[in-house]
Amino acid sequence: MIIGTGIDIIEVNRIEKNLSNERFLNKIYTKQEIQYIKNKKMNAQTAAGIFAAKEAVSKCLGTGISSFSWTDIEIKKSSNEKPYIALYNNAYNIANSKGIYKIHVSISHIKETAVACAVSEGISKEFKEINTIKENLFTFSNANKYIRKRENETHKGTYGRVAVIAGSIGMSGAPYLSSMAALRTGSGLVYTIVPQRLETILSIKLTEAIVKPIKDDNCGFLTKENIKDIYDIIEKCDVVVLGPGIGTNNQTAELVTNIIKDTAKPLIIDADGLNCIIECVDILKKRPGKTIITPHPGEMSRLLHKKNINSKNKVILARDFSYKYNVVTVLKGHNTVTASPDGSYFINKTGNAGMATAGSGDVLTGIIASLVGQGIDCFDAASCGVFIHGLSGDIGSCKIGEYGLIARDIIEHIPYAIKNIIQFEGLVE
């Protein structure tokens, strides 16, 4: 089982400035690591990658580097240059006390920075004492089953067509964030379906997406009158996002309920899409296609007409809702729960408090939609999407901190999260 994870990011020039300092080298690196760096002609990226990996491993152990010497962690390289870990002295003792028997590490680079991710594998003390407990944690190993290196003989149609039905006056950011997140997650084509009044701003903001304006008689929101035009567009798509920033007025709500009842396409319902159905939740049972909902606790409480949603009852509520309404439920927040109608569920451990920011949920919706469009089953896509979303935020926060993190920072780091997942190929729990 997975015991811990750690992520670190460091600017390469910080290491480069110290590479000529023998005291620094001997403090941070083992003799073998120093020789490896010298063999790489004192390459600063190489040295920074090893530094970041040591920090990531120390976080993975749950103590930070202060509990042992830098040289108690050694980053070795296999014959194919894949990094692996050796622990000595206090670092080894800490790992042993926690039941850790293996640590996997991935090192990559983002522009002028080095990024490392570490995952520790073992048997925790609690698991030894109560060996019937199973923690349903979604990990790098799970994600790696679905996020694979791309084949050469492919084209943009291979990676899915995503429709994003979203936006209203004052809410142009929501369709932008969902669309960009889908593109950054690898979608081949993204169609952004918005009221005509948003066409200009979104055509400027979205270079790679295909903006599809829907006539709105200058009202700035979508209505039931638009349903035929919308159906003509989504007919050729593999998955549909419904709700981000779409509004909750009666005319829009009528459109939303009709799309939910009529389209057989896989549907991800988020934000206002959910708020539009709080008085008619049973329409989810009549869906002709697969459904994913992505409520935060406030939206979930409105759907259930229930006040108390907390960390203690999230798993039960998500599983019950999924079973009752035949949907995949992504109940967002700290330790997001993803539940399937058959009772399966995962708890996510990636992410940080900096992601409690406007638009973060729109980004998650776009990520999940992209994975569904690429042919991944809805429950697997939702679980994996939550993991990627949190990991992207973690990488971003390592770079700029939690306070200044915004939704666009999460989008910016999606490719690096995916890159690190691919590099964890072969992790077995």
Could you give the angle at the alpha carbon of 348 between the alpha carbons of 147 and 361, nearest 5°?
Answer: 85
pLDDT of res. 90? 92
Q: Pick the residue with more confidence: 379 or 399?
A: 379
Residue 124: which pLDDT band, with cuts at 50, 70 and 90?
Answer: low
| pLDDT, tens digit, 9 for 90 and up, residues 49-62 | 999 999 999 999 98
Q: Where do the domains of the chain lie?
A: 2-135, 156-423
The pLDDT of residue 81: 84
- Return the residue matching tokens 């829009």: 252
pLDDT higher than 90, residue 111: no
223-251 burial by CB neighbour count: b if 16+ within 10 A, else e? Answer: bbebbeebeebbeebbbbbbbbbbbbbee
pLDDT, residue 128, reads 41
Looking at 152-196, list the stretches that DSSP marks H as alpha helix, in order from N- to C-terminal side. Answer: 173-184
What is the percent of the chain where pLDDT is above 70? 96
pLDDT of residue 127: 42
Question: 310-314 contacts: CB < 8 A, separation 24 or more?
Answer: 311/335
Across 47-61, 76-90, 228-242, 360-374, least confident range:
76-90
Q: Which two tokens stand for residue 121?
A: 């594998």
Please give the model's pTM, rounded to 2 decimal places: 0.84
- Kind of pairing between the strands at 161-165 and 189-195: parallel
Residue 67 DSSP code: G
- Identify the residue with better confidence: 255 or 313: 255
For residue 125, the model assigns a pLDDT of: 53
Q: Which residues of 71-83 are buried (b: 16+ CB within 10 A; e: fewer)?
A: bbbbbeeeeeeeb
What is the arithmetic mean of pLDDT over 262-266?
A: 97
Residue that has been written with the tokens 């039960």 in this structure: 316
Q: What share of the chain is helix, strand, coil (3-state, %, to 5)?
A: 45, 20, 35
59 among known catalytic residues: yes
Q: Is the model more confident about 414 or about 286?
A: 414
Q: Which of 59, 98, 389, 419 is catalytic?
A: 59
Q: pLDDT tens digit string along 266-283?
A: 999 999 999 999 999 999
Per-residue confidence (pLDDT) for residue 311, from 0 to 100: 78
> Which of 77-91, 122-136, 235-249 is the most confident on average?
235-249
Domain at 156-423: CATH code: 3.40.1190.20
Spot the catalytic one: 76, 77, 109, 324.
109
Cα–chain center distance at 353 = 14
What CATH code would you report for 2-135? 3.90.470.20
| Spatial separation of the C-alpha atoms in residues 302 and 230, rounded to whole Å | 27
Whole-number percent of the chain with pLDDT over 90: 80
144-181: pLDDT as tens digits = 999 999 999 999 999 999 999 999 999 999 999 999 99
